[in-house]
């Protein structure tokens, strides 16, 4: 930016003030005025929290501001979790607290010193009231008048979350970031508390709406709210009072904007976005917005280009933070799900809820806590599953055994079913499948799935999909089963299904879900609806055809037993035939198989019952479902999935494979790491049924996190196994777990793998230590100065 600008900042909170500071520091020629509706010393709330990462950003952007506010920080690295009479502590997290009023005063002082004009008690509801400006920054908070004025352009969305919460304070100094979980006659309460200056702490109690109503807090004023909280948390407060400051009960709004700027007007902070307080403060996000916006003016020569650069470079970070915040807040909204967990598992689930902290991350932060998680988990497996798992030198959770029905798998790793579209003529699994599945089994996973296998010729997805409806196919599968059992400790599962309206299509790499250029066969579905506009129009399956298909599933099941499979899975997900009955988007029948969920499940349960009867009682059965259609308001959601799981459990299901989507072309999935795991978590808790989690799970660390937190019993990975069939063996070397079964011919490589893993871990630890050096030095210097 070469030309000084006239800048109006609407909103004198930390975000607006800090942007003014950074711009004035970059070019004293900028004429900057900040307009704030409140008085200089008005502030609402109590303290704010910054992480080490945010402090680094602030220090790098403006060391003078950092040094001014650092003198008032209260540092801590511990998180204390109070639950059922226990206090579980995790260390190494790195936070600091600061009084919000002090922060504002320091930012105001720094802004004035640089020459920023501050106008208080000036409410800007109309931009026409501002003087001519090259740039207008809307930092006017959650209830932004500027965003509202141009809502048609910014296109904001508001998701008002379920829980009730209130900001309060206390004179008690908490030694750590404290979570307190307790239940009284009204329901479950969650309290977050942190010190922000000596002798003062913030309290944020929350509960679900039913608990809030039962407590009569919908009719309470501030004094009555304080009295209720004083009584509820009396033992934690040790006689210290609960303090209020506009402490009214509220619901948290998740705010997003489709567009971030309009002409020369740009949104920052809560006007632009919110992220739930459970993963950090809005102040942190607002000040990081200010850094990003000021940085954009440093690299772009004019206002339009700078605003465009700001949105493009900052949006991804904001969306990641909001996604993590959304996952985190959902955890708090379903207290009954985690309330049944043992204290150690509740603590681990809490710490790992947003996916930002994982099993290995916690071990690095606090080795003692990580070791305790391993010991606790090993003891849990010993006591609940009666496996002889060592507790003195316990394995990581992923390397503990599990029992599905009467079948034991040696670890929690699953090779997910992956369509290979590579069957030989006659839809016979050939040498490709022998090598592909044989490699997967030898790679150490406890359970290996074959791809979805067709129960009849018309049930195929593509011409390259294997079947199990002919004797030649059964013979070929027998060869593969024999190899898997002779050369590995893996259990082998066959997933069987009928493609329905997604059948008669090209192989995946030729055009996913597109009809064949020639040689198409008839396709059926629950209703005569296309999957995609350029796809097949199926016919609505008749009752007579339903009976034939059911018999095809039974015959395939018997053939799977003959071939030697250890387990069978029915595919009721991803828009295939059985799935098409379950979703209201694909089932518009007017007979006994359409309408409400109970009717839509009638045929899938009929097929399940027939298959369960045909499958040996001592062999387990699984079902894969789509836990959501990703079409809010019209399709299946997680509450439906929980009911589906309960229905299947009542019919004798042993474990449920929890996937999502792929049922409708209208779907709008929310992707991310482990993005389908919350569905598994909910079903496992609510239906009390073992689950398999799947969906962008890529590392051993993620497997350990999911299993230890109780979000799934087994974890299925697809693409990571394609890249490295020996994924599980490599993980055993990484963790130094000698008891993982290795194929005898591979033992020559085992010792080397363990040695290299130790070397790699040592090198990585050294790099991490170097990266943390600046933080440690800063904190040491700060503490010494105090």
Catalytically active residues, by annotation: 576
Sequence-ordered list of residues with C-beta below 8 angstroms from that of 273, at least 6 positions apart, any chain: 255, 256, 257, 285, 318, 322
Secondary structure in 3-state letters for 351-407: HCCCCCCCHHHHHHHCHHHHHHHHHHHHHHHHHHHCCCCCCCCCCCHHHCCEEECCE
3-state secondary structure of 411: coil
Cα–Cα dist 644/638, whole Å: 10
Q: Are 300 and 1 in contact (CB under 8 A)?
A: yes
Which residue in 88, 14, 89, 12 sits closest to 58, CA to CA?
14
* Alpha carbon distance 31, 26 (integer Å): 12
Q: Residue 492: helix, strand or coil by DSSP?
A: strand
Report the relative pairing of strands 621-626 and 655-659 from DSSP bridges.
parallel
Q: What is the dihedral of CA 414, 419, 424, 430, to 10 degrees?
A: -10
Q: Identify how many contiguous H helices and E strands the chain contains and give both numbers.
A: 28, 30
Q: Which three-class secondary structure state does DSSP give residue 42?
A: coil
For 655-676, give the DSSP string.
EEEEE---S-TT------TTTT
Q: Which contacts of 306-311 are long-range, i.e. CB under 8 A and separated by 24 or more positions?
A: 306/1, 307/260, 307/261, 307/264, 307/266, 308/261, 310/260, 310/261, 310/266, 311/259, 311/260, 311/261
Whole-Å CA distances, 518 to 459, 528, 552:
17, 21, 26
Residue 275 CA to residue 252 CA, distance in Å, equals 9
Quote the DSSP letter at residue 240. P
d(CA 524, CA 182): 53
Q: How far apart are CA 221 and CA 352, in angstroms?
A: 35
Residue 494 pairs in a beta bridge with 450, 568
Secondary structure E strands in 506-591:
524-525, 539-540, 567-572
């Amino acid at each position: 930016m070469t030309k000084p600008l006239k800048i109006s900042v609407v909103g004198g909170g930390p975000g607006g003030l800090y942007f003014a500071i950074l711009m004035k520091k970059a070019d004293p020629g900028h004429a900057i005025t900040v307009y704030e509706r409140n008085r200089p010393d008005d502030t609402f709330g109590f303290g704010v929290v910054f992480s080490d990462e945010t402090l680094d950003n602030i220090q790098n952007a403006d060391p003078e501001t950092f040094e001014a506010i650092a003198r008032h920080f209260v540092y801590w690295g511990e998180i204390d979790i109070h639950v059922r009479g226990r206090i579980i502590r995790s260390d190494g997290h790195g936070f600091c607290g600061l009084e919000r009023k002090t922060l504002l005063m320091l930012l105001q002082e720094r802004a004035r010193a640089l020459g920023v004009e501050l106008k208080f008690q000036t409410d800007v509801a109309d931009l026409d009231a501002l003087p001519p400006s090259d740039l207008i920054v809307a930092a006017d908070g959650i209830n932004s008048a500027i965003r509202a004025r141009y809502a048609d352009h910014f296109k904001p969305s508001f998701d008002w979350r379920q829980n009730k919460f209130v900001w309060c304070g206390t004179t008690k100094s908490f030694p750590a970031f404290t979570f307190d979980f307790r239940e009284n006659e009204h329901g479950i309460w969650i309290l977050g508390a942190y010190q922000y200056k000596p002798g003062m702490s913030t309290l944020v109690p929350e509960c679900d709406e039913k608990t809030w109503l039962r407590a009569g807090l919908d009719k309470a004023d501030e004094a009555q709210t304080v009295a209720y909280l004083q009584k509820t948390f009396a033992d934690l407060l040790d006689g210290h009072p609960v303090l209020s400051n506009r402490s009214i009960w509220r619901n948290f709004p998740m705010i997003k904007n489709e567009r971030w700027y309009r002409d020369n007007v740009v949104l920052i902070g809560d006007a632009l976005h919110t992220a739930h307080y459970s993963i950090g403060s809005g102040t942190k996000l607002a000040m990081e917005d200010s850094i990003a916006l000021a940085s954009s003016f440093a690299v772009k020569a004019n206002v339009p280009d700078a605003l465009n650069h700001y949105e493009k470079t900052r949006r991804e970070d904001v969306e990641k933070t909001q996604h993590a915040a959304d996952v985190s807040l959902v955890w708090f909204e379903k207290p009954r799900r985690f309330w049944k967990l043992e204290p150690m598992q509740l603590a681990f689930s809490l710490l790992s809820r947003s996916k930002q902290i994982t099993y290995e991350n916690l071990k690095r932060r606090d080795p003692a806590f990580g070791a305790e998680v391993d010991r606790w988990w090993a003891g849990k497996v010993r006591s609940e599953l009666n496996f002889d798992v060592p507790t003195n030198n316990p394995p990581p959770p992923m390397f503990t055994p599990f029992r599905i029905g009467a079948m034991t798998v040696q670890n929690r790793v699953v090779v997910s079913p992956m369509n290979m579209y590579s069957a030989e003529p006659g839809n016979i699994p050939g040498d490709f499948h022998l090598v592909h599945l044989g490699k997967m089994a030898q790679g150490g996973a406890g359970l290996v799935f074959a791809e979805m296998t067709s129960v009849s010729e018309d049930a195929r997805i593509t011409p390259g999909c294997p079947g199990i409806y002919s004797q030649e196919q059964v013979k070929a599968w027998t060869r593969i089963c024999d190899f898997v059992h002779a050369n590995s400790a893996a259990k082998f599962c066959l997933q069987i299904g009928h493609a329905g309206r997604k059948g008669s299509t090209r192989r995946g790499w030729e055009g996913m879900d597109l009809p064949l250029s020639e040689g198409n066969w008839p396709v059926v579905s629950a209703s005569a609806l296309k999957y995609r506009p350029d796809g097949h129009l199926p016919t609505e399956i008749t009752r007579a055809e339903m009976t034939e298909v059911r018999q095809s599933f039974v015959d395939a099941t018997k053939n799977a037993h003959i071939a030697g499979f250890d387990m069978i899975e029915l595919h009721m997900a991803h828009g295939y035939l059985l799935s098409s009955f379950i979703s209201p988007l694909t089932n518009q029948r007017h007979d006994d198989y359409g309408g409400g969920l109970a009717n839509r499940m009638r045929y899938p349960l009929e097929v399940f019952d027939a298959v369960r009867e045909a499958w040996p009682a001592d062999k387990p059965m699984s079902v894969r479902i789509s836990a959501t259609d990703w079409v809010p308001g019209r399709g299946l959601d997680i509450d439906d999935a929980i009911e589906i799981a309960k229905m299947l459990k009542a019919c004798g299901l042993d474990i449920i494979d929890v996937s999502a989507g792929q049922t409708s072309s209208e779907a709008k999935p929310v992707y991310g790491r482990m993005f389908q795991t919350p569905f598994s978590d909910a079903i496992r808790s609510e239906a009390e049924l073992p689950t398999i989690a799947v969906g962008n799970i890529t590392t051993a660390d993620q497997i350990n996190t999911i299993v230890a937190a109780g979000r799934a019993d087994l974890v299925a990975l697809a693409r990571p196994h394609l890249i490295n069939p020996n994924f599980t063996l490599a993980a055993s070397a990484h963790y130094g777990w000698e008891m993982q079964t290795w194929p005898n011919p591979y033992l020559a490589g085992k010792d080397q793998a363990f040695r290299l893993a130790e070397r790699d871990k040592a090198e990585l630890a050294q790099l991490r230590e170097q990266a943390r050096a600046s933080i440690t030095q800063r904190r040491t210097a700060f503490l010494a100065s105090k």
